[in-house]
């Protein structure tokens, strides 16, 4: 029964068309398919509207619900604005992969059962890997392989969990559960790997910055946020998510503070922001879940905006290290201003989207009387301003005069940034349309003078701390160790040591064997060689003598 064509498949058809077309036709496909998909997304009513039979299971290809529609909406908007940003510079196969990747994300949004979820989940894994490969360098190839290994492993863990849940409960429905047994834990772990939760957070900052300037814009949006949606649908109120989310928040801040690569700073801050959402899902109240959904919506916009701004800088200068950049505000005013708007939004500055969405999460913690969580979230809000809100624009666009005078963004990239910058401010000033889309009724108003003043104090004094402590944040040409050390350094080094040890053993064995063979040969040679006792030729007279002696002995023995 298919009442509605799954919107994910429309996007997937778009991806195919992009691969098959060229020139103006391809541009038209890039700019229209997301809007058609968005229209279909908004046509889908609540409840299951498309089912199919797959391996004897009745799978639900499309199930409508407010939170699903919210995520699918922002994914479509992201595909449209990302497409606008990328369509003149990105290669056709990168655009095609990006749309197939978006199709996977939208498919997950409407998946009514775990099998459908898994199928679209893997679609995302495959095409996001291709986008990493599209970075086109040796490093992006290597990072893409590491990225693929982690995500395929995550997929296997998720699949084991799904099968176990199916066996235990007999149901493939997507419904709220708790991590209580093996199956549900495996499902949770599989999802958390895509959310870049510890211990496997390193893949994100490893892979995203190695993609092309346009690729990282798409990568920043889909994988981690579909994981957040999956957590909202499957594990609302699962308390283990609170410490995991808080860890992600502070991990992101510390690593971003240590980082020198502009896009890697932003990548670490994705982990930080997703940490807020994971914490909110763990709190699990209506306000907190609204906060997680609203924050994911706002986050996709401002994070893509930040990656667009960084992408323009990389596109124009070819430089990634902030120690090589600086002073770009002179010739890149539009990119600079849009970057600052994104930075203010991520810092939840009043009048930006972060303020009207992230504050919901803090409210959720306060409502539940979670004192420690509330204070840690407040400290983290200050930390976000520190590591992304000021650090990114300061080191890229101001800091020192690097002498670089690159041109500002091409018109399409500029337009994409302006659209998202406007969206950041719109949601910040007038959040009601977004609140109306949230899964639960929301009438929060954070524009009370006391509230605004509190946030201004918090953020502006964080700014003071940044500028006072600048000498402690001197950029260094370094990378920071993470658990990827295990598979990037320890494992290869161990293997190398092991292989070296095997070589040594083999060389020694070969040498010893050769010596043994030589000495054995010598011994044989002595006795059986051509001059040896047993092999050398004897004169016939000696033989006759010996035979005579033998016969004599025989005759003697016989006689006795």
Partner 1 sequence: MSDVSDKKPEPEQVVAGDNHWLTRPATIRKLWWMFGGVLALTVVAQFFIPIKGKFALDSVFAFGAWFGFGACVLMVIAARVLGWWLKRPEEYYAELGIEPPPQEKERSDD
Contact with partner 1 (CB under 8 A) among 492, 521, 525, 532: 492
Buried b (16+ CB within 10 A) or exposed e, 446-461: beeeeeeeebeebbee
**Residues 533/535/539/545 CA torsion (nearest 10 deg):** 60
User: Given candidates 21, 32, 58, 89, which one binds partner 1 under the rule CB under 8 A?
Assistant: 89
Q: Which residue do the tokens 């349309």 mark?
A: 433
E strand map for 138-243: none
Cα angle 329, 389, 451; round to 5: 130
Q: Which stretch binds partner 1 (CB under 8 A): 41-49, 113-121, 132-140, 301-309?
A: 132-140
Nearest to 210 by CA among 268, 136, 275: 136
Q: Least distance in Å: CB of 421 to partner 1?
A: 21
Sole window of 112-120, 192-200, 372-380, 534-542 interacting with partner 1 (rule: CB under 8 A): 372-380
| Long-range contacts formed by 48-55: CB under 8 A, 24+ apart | 48/112, 49/3, 49/4, 50/1, 50/2, 50/3, 50/4, 50/5, 50/6, 51/1, 51/2, 51/112, 52/2, 54/115, 55/115
For the window 421-460, what string marks contact with partner 1 as x by the rule CB under 8 A? Answer: ----------------------------xxx-xxxxxxxx
- In the list 464, 540, 557, 560, the residue contacting partner 1 (rule: CB under 8 A) is 464
Q: Contact between 314 and partner 1 (CB under 8 A)?
A: yes
Dist. CA 362–CA 359, nearest whole Å: 5
Distances (CA, A) of 318 to 304, 417, 465: 19, 19, 31
- The answer to whether 250 touches 203, Cβ cutoff 8 Å, is no
- The residues in 465-484 that bind partner 1, with binding defined as CB under 8 A, are 465-466, 469, 472-473, 476-482
3-state secondary structure of 333: helix
Instruction: Restricting to residues 239-278, name those near partner 1 by CB under 8 A.
Output: 250, 253-254, 257-258
Residue 133, interface with partner 1 (CB under 8 A)? no
Question: Minimal distance in Å, beta carbon 282 to partner 1?
Answer: 19
Per DSSP, what are the bridge partners of residue 59? 52
Q: In this chain, which of 382, 421, 427, 437 binds partner 1, going by CB under 8 A?
A: 382
Applying the rule CB under 8 A, the residues between 180 and 199 that interact with partner 1 are none
Using the rule CB under 8 A, give the single segment among 72-80, 110-118, 126-134, 317-325 that binds partner 1. Answer: 317-325
Q: Which is nearer to partner 1, 192 or 319 (CB)?
A: 319
Residue 66 CB, nearest approach to partner 1 (Å): 28
Q: How many residues make contact with partner 1 (CB under 8 A)?
A: 75
* Minimum separation from the CB atom of position 26 to partner 1 (A): 12
- Residue in 99, 222, 297, 315 binding partner 1, rule: CB under 8 A: 315
> Least Å distance between CB 289 and partner 1?
19
CB atoms within 10 A of CB 376: 19
Q: How far is the CB of 76 from partner 1 (least distance, A)?
A: 25
Those residues with Cβ within 8 angstroms of residue 337's Cβ, 6 or more apart along the chain or in another chain: 421
Binding string, 203-222, against partner 1, x = CB under 8 A? ---------xx---------
23 vs 170 by CB, closer to partner 1:
23
Give CA–CA dist 519/538, Å, rounded.
26
Q: Is 228 in the site for partner 1 (CB under 8 A)?
A: no
**Contact residues for 47 (Cβ-Cβ < 8 A; gap 6+):** 63, 64
The token pair at 184 is 């549900």
330 binds partner 1 (CB under 8 A): yes
Give just the sign of the alpha carbon dihedral 369, 373, 377, 379: positive
Query: How far from 413 is each of 152, 301, 406, 440, CA to CA, in Å?
Result: 33, 14, 15, 35
**Residue 48, helix vs strand vs coil:** strand
Nearer to partner 1, 297 or 349 (CB): 349
Structure tokens given for 237:
């109120």
Q: Whose Cβ is closer to partner 1: residue 102's or residue 409's? A: 409
Residues with Cβ within 8 Å of 430's Cβ and at least 6 positions away in sequence, in order, are: none
Cβ proximity to partner 1, 496 vs 536, nearer residue: 496
The least distance separating partner 1 from the CB of residue 453, rounded to whole angstroms, comes to 5
Cα(465)–Cα(427) distance, integer angstroms: 28
Residue placing its CB nearer to partner 1 in the complex, 285 or 480: 480
Binds partner 1 (CB under 8 A): choice among 92, 243, 463, 529: 463
Closer to partner 1 by CB, 464 or 557: give it. Answer: 464
Using CB under 8 A, pick the residue from 96, 116, 320, 353 that binds partner 1: 320
Nearer to partner 1, 176 or 469 (CB): 469
Tokens representing 424? 């950041």
CA dist 148 and 154 (Å) reads 10
Among 43, 45, 139, 523, binds partner 1 (CB under 8 A): 139
- Measured from the Cβ of residue 167, the count of other Cβ atoms closer than 10 Å reads 9
Choose which of 16, 19, 351, 366 interacts with partner 1 (CB under 8 A).
Answer: 366
CB nearer partner 1, residue 112 or residue 364: 364
Which of 152, 160, 378, 429 is in the footprint of partner 1 by CB under 8 A? 378
Of the candidates 176, 183, 170, 385, which has an alpha carbon nearest to the alpha carbon of residue 272? 385
Give the interface segment with partner 1, choosing from 62-70, 138-146, 270-278, 438-446 (CB under 8 A). 138-146
| Residues in 385-414 at the binding interface with partner 1, rule: CB under 8 A | 385-387, 401, 403-407, 410-411
CB-nearer residue toward partner 1: 238 or 261? 261
The token pair at 397 is: 């666009």
Asked if 138 is part of the footprint of partner 1 (rule: CB under 8 A), the reply reads: yes
Are 322 and 396 in contact, with CB atoms under 8 Å apart?
yes
- Closer residue to partner 1 in complex, CB, 406/439: 406
Residues counted in the chain: 560
Binders of partner 1 among 19-48, rule CB under 8 A?
A: none
């Amino acid at each position: 029964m298919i009442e509605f064509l799954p919107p994910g498949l429309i996007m997937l058809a778009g991806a195919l068309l992009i691969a098959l077309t060229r020139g103006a036709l391809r541009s038209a496909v890039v700019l229209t398919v997301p809007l058609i998909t968005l229209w279909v997304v908004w046509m889908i009513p609540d409840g299951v509207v498309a089912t199919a039979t797959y391996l004897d299971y009745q799978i639900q290809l499309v199930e409508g619900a407010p939170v699903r529609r919210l995520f699918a909406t922002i994914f479509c908007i992201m595909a449209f604005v990302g497409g606008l940003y990328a369509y003149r510079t990105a290669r056709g196969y990168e655009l095609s992969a990006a749309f197939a990747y978006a199709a996977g994300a939208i498919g997950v949004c409407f998946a009514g059962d775990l099998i459908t979820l898994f199928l679209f989940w893997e679609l995302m894994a495959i095409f996001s890997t291709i986008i990493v490969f599209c970075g086109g360098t040796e490093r992006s190839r290597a990072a893409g392989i590491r990225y693929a290994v982690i995500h395929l492993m995550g997929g296997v863990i998720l699949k084991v969990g799904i099968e176990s849940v199916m066996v235990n409960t007999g149901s493939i429905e997507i419904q709220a559960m708790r991590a209580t047994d093996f199956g549900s834990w495996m499902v949770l772990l599989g999802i958390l790997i895509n959310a870049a939760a510890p211990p496997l957070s390193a893949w994100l900052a490893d892979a995203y910055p190695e993609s092309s300037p346009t690729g990282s814009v798409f990568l920043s949006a889909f994988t981690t946020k579909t994981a957040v949606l999956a957590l909202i649908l499957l594990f609302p109120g699962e308390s283990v998510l609170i410490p995991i989310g808080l860890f992600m928040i502070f991990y992101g801040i510390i690593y971003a503070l240590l980082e020198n690569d502009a896009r890697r700073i932003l990548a670490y801050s994705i982990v930080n922001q997703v940490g807020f959402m994971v914490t909110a899902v763990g709190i699990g109240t209506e306000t907190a879940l609204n906060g997680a959904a609203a924050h994911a919506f706002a986050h996709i916009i401002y994070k893509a905006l930040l990656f667009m701004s960084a992408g323009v800088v990389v596109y124009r200068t070819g430089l990634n290290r902030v120690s090589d950049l600086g002073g770009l505000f002179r010739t890149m005013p539009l990119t600079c201003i849009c970057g600052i708007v994104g930075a203010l939004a991520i810092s939840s500055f009043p009048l930006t989207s972060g303020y009207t969405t992230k504050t919901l999460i803090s409210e959720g913690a306060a409502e539940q009387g979670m004192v420690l969580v509330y204070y840690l979230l407040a400290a983290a809000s200050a930390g976000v301003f520190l590591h992304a809100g000021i650090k990114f624009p300061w080191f890229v666009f101001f800091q020192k005069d690097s002498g670089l005078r690159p041109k500002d963004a091409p018109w399409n990239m500029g337009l994409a940034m302006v659209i998202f910058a406007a969206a950041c401010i719109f949601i910040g000033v007038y959040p009601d349309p977004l609140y109306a889309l949230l899964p639960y009724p929301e009438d929060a108003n954070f524009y009370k003078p006391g509230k605004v003043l509190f946030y201004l104090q918090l953020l502006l004094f964080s700014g003071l701390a940044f500028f006072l402590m600048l000498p402690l944040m001197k950029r260094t040409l370094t990378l920071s160790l993470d658990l990827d050390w295990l598979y990037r350094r320890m494992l290869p080094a161990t293997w190398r040591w092991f292989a070296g040890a095997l070589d040594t053993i083999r060389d020694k064995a070969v040498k010893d064997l050769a010596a043994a063979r030589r000495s054995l040969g010598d011994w044989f040679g002595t006795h059986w060689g051509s001059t040896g006792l047993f092999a050398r030729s004897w004169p016939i007279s000696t033989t006759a003598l010996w035979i005579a002696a033998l016969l004599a002995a025989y005759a003697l023995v016989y006689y006795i």
